[in-house]
Amino acid sequence: MVEAGFRNLVVCHLNHGLRGRASSEDARFVKRLAAHLGLECEIGRVEVKRLIAQRGESMETAARFARHTFFAECATQFKCNRIVLAHHADDQAETVLWNLLRGSNGLKGMRAEQRMTTETGRILVLHRPLLGVRRAELVGWLESHKKLWREDASNALPVAVRNRLRNEAIPLLAEISNRDPVAALVRAAEAFTELQQLEAWALERANVLDPQGRLHLPTLRDLPLVMRRAAIVRYLKEAGVGEIDHDLVARALDLCDSGNSPAVNLPGGGSLRRRGGRLFLQHESN
């Protein structure tokens, strides 16, 4: 970034304290590099193990929470709102495959640009400019420019899962298909993101909400099933309903037919209710 002309940069590094001496050496390396480049440097430290005990979360969730808190603090301290992350195409392929296997997110990958709201309401933008670049290209560039580097072990995927996807699954899929699964997965994730953007546009255009933000039944009934389903899923998501499974969506779709029962109970309380040509969320207290 410095060679590309960026000047006003702050190097931020969070020591997760998970790998003992290797973690401290990572931090020292970052500090020396920043000094060498004449850049500000902020090193944070967190005991992820203590955080896991406190918050009762998985290692990955606790570590991500710690990183995001640290980024937010740095952003406030240095009055920045853009954070540049180093995830590359191989990281992306592993994330996409992992999401596919978990079965809930389609081909969702990391985004090249992602908004994040901190707990104090500040908006940060995460950038991942290397998401389309292969790990081997990065290493090649570093080697040909005689630059040192260290591997960052922090990642949204559980370490054991990532290692097995990288060292076993992706090589096996490459051998079977005689093609590069990383390129295929990265491209498929891009296509999936585009289809999701298209869905957002279509829902906007379908104009299914009334001025009070409730689902307008006559409009909904005129839409094909696939659009009706997408509109209901989005309405439930935006209303903060947590678990939207296949069965809930099917029962919510049945609400469109005035011959059926006028309400569907939602997980976590409240109901989706049909009244006066509208579908809307009703909280338990009402």
| Nearer to a copy of itself among residue 174 and residue 239 (C-beta) | 174
Task: Answer yes or no whether residue 37 interacts with a copy of itself by CB under 8 A.
Answer: no
From 20, 56, 224, 276, residue interacting with a copy of itself (rule: CB under 8 A): 224
| Beta carbon of residue 205, minimum distance to a copy of itself (angstroms, whole number) | 6
d(C-alpha 253, C-alpha 276), whole Å? 17
The contact mask relative to a copy of itself for 85-124 (x = CB under 8 A, - = no) is: -------------x-xxxx--xx-----------------
- If DSSP codes are grouped into helix, strand and coil, which group holds residue 180? coil
| Nearer to a copy of itself among residue 117 and residue 196 (C-beta) | 196
Cβ–Cβ under 8 Å, residues 149 and 142: yes
| Nearer to a copy of itself among residue 236 and residue 281 (C-beta) | 236
Cα separations in angstroms, 59 against 50, 92, 160? 10, 20, 12
Residue type, 137: E
| Nearer to a copy of itself among residue 71 and residue 235 (C-beta) | 235
| Beta carbon of residue 229, minimum distance to a copy of itself (angstroms, whole number) | 7
Sequence-distant (6+) residues with CB within 8 A of 62 are 48, 51, 52, 55
The contact mask relative to a copy of itself for 145-184 (x = CB under 8 A, - = no) is: ----------------x--xx--xx--xx--xx-x-x-xx
* Selection from 256, 215, 257, 261 nearest residue 237 by Cα: 215
- The 10 Å Cβ neighbour count of residue 64 is 15
Cβ–Cβ under 8 Å, residues 133 and 89: yes
Query: Which residues form the interface with a copy of itself (CB under 8 A)?
Result: 98, 100-103, 106-107, 161, 164-165, 168-169, 172-173, 176-177, 179, 181, 183-185, 187-188, 191-192, 194-199, 201-202, 205-206, 223-224, 226-227, 229-230
